[in-house]
Amino acid sequence: MTTAVIIVFILGYLAITLEHNLKIDKMIPALAMMAICWSIIALGHLDVFDVNATLKQLEPTHIEEILLHHLGKTAEILFFLMGAMTIVEIIDYFDGFAAIKRFVKTRKKSALLWIMSILAFILSAIIDNLTATIVLITILRKLVDDKTTRLWFAGMIVVAANAGGAWSPIGDVTTTMLWIGDKVTTGKLITYLLIPSIVCMVIPTIIASRMSAFQGEIPQVASSHEKENPYGFTMLLLGLGMIVFVPFFKTITHLPPYVGMMLSLAVVAAFAELFSYRQFSMSDIGEHDHHHSPVHRALTKIEMPSILFFLGILLAVAALESLGELFRFATWLNEAIPNTDIVVMLLGAGSAVIDNVPLVAASMGMFSEPADDFLWHFIAYAAGTGGSMLIIGSAAGVVAMGMEKIDFFWYLKKIAWLAAIGFIAGAITFILMKNYIF
């Protein structure tokens, strides 16, 4: 019966990987895989185990207890993500991100490339790489009319956003998973990964800035004369500030990060409601005043399919972990490839083909290293930046592909090699720092 669980997981994983070919949302196979795996465990009366902190002993546990345990850990990640997504949507409701466009004055392509790359790197560390990509491509559309030119910029934004998300506990879903799972701490994550992530972003940008695609100037785009929201910049600063506040809250209180994120959401929502009611006359507010509520609007726009995908994939991986299969696979892997640096780089390369969320979820059940071990930080880097090597290898890449209709093979030919150089350069930097500095 254990073999049946593994087969279901592999088939579900394959369906997720072939999402674009099958033309079904990856949420569907993830949820089905999770439900079927746990159903086989229940109907087959298979022993499930509670893997302790050292992973050296496996103790049989009742299935309901272990499932509730994994659901609790998964819910911490999901509520954290939902809070962050809602704050970002509230900022967007007030058109807060439009304020960034005012800071872009240059028409020189190479200068604009550096501005966009640096913004992607910084923003992704604060609001996550997916949202940063959406924001910057939206701004890019207002700055660049030419479709081909925009494709080049969008590709480099993906590379920079994934690099920026790797060194922040809130910059990438996989890094957030490791942070919430107490595998890494904020201080060590920044200390170990900031420089490798900068290298991963800077090297491809230097090379790209010398290519013909980024030579010359961009024609002036006609002004749209859009009315500026008076509270936009205030909500941008407040929203970003409250998201950045979450790691400090966790450090001070030692409470799970989702608690801090809920507090941040409450503060941002309170100001959003206050500013929103100022924009409408009292005659507009009545029985249907929730139609004007930025919080209600934001909650309807968050990516629920992504939330349900994370629920399915994390609990499916938890099924394999509870059966002890991940622990056994890790033992085999360590015997086959004793060098963990090579193993992690292979995981990073694999994240370009296979979704990095289940890869990291599996690695959390495979390895027994203590919190803040270099292994966990290297996994955070590799999973976060390795996906840049294919357009479908990261959430940022997928959203850019959808927004700008980027062709898979165009990206493979034009951008993938730049992303690979950045990934390898950053990985070498991390290994050198680990061996000779720390």
Mean pLDDT of 303-332: 81
Contact 186, 179 (CB under 8 A): yes
Q: What angle do CA 387, 393, 399 make, to 5 degrees?
A: 115
* Both structure tokens of 68: 């509730």
Burial class (CB within 10 angstroms; exposed 0-12, middle 13-18, buried 19+) of 433: middle
Distance from the Cα of residue 36 to its chain's centroid: 27
Which two three-digit tokens encode residue 316? 């499916």
Rounded-to-integer distance, Cα 250 and Cα 151, Å: 39
Give the domain extent around 384: 74-436
Asked whether the predicted pLDDT for residue 195 surpasses 90, the reply is: yes
What's the pLDDT score for residue 60?
Answer: 58
44: in domain: no
Asked whether residue 317 is assigned to any structural domain, the reply reads yes
Residue 21 maps to a domain = no
Domain contains 41 = no
Is residue 177 in some structural domain?
Answer: yes
pLDDT digits (tens, 9 = 90+) for 87-119: 888 988 888 887 777 777 788 999 999 999 999
User: What angle separates helix 340-350 from helix 325-336, to the nearest 10 degrees?
Assistant: 120
Is residue 283's pLDDT more than 50? no
The confidence band for 321, taking pLDDT boundaries of 50, 70 and 90, is: confident
Task: Establish if 9 belongs to a structural domain.
Answer: no
**Residue 49: beta bridge partners?**
60
Split into its structural domains, the chain has a count of 1
The dihedral region occupied by 174, where left means phi > 0, alpha psi between -120 and 50, and beta the remainder, is alpha
User: Is residue 327 a contact partner of residue 51, using CB atoms and an 8 Å limit?
Assistant: yes
| 50 located within any domain | no
State how far the Cα of 120 lies from the Cα of 200, in Å rounded to an integer: 13
Assigned domain for 67 exists: no
Question: Could you tell me the pLDDT band of residue 288, with boundaries at 50, 70 and 90?
Answer: very low
User: For 237-277, how does the pLDDT look when each residue is reduced to its tens digit (9 = 90+)?
Assistant: 999 899 889 888 988 998 888 899 999 999 999 999 988 87
| Mean pLDDT of the region 302-316 | 84
Q: What is the band of 281 on the pLDDT scale with cuts at 50, 70, 90?
A: very low
Using a pLDDT cut of 70, give the percent of the chain over it. 92
Q: Which of 264, 231, 234, 233 is nearest to 250 (CA)?
A: 264
Q: Are strands 48-51 and 58-61 parallel, antiparallel or unpaired?
A: antiparallel
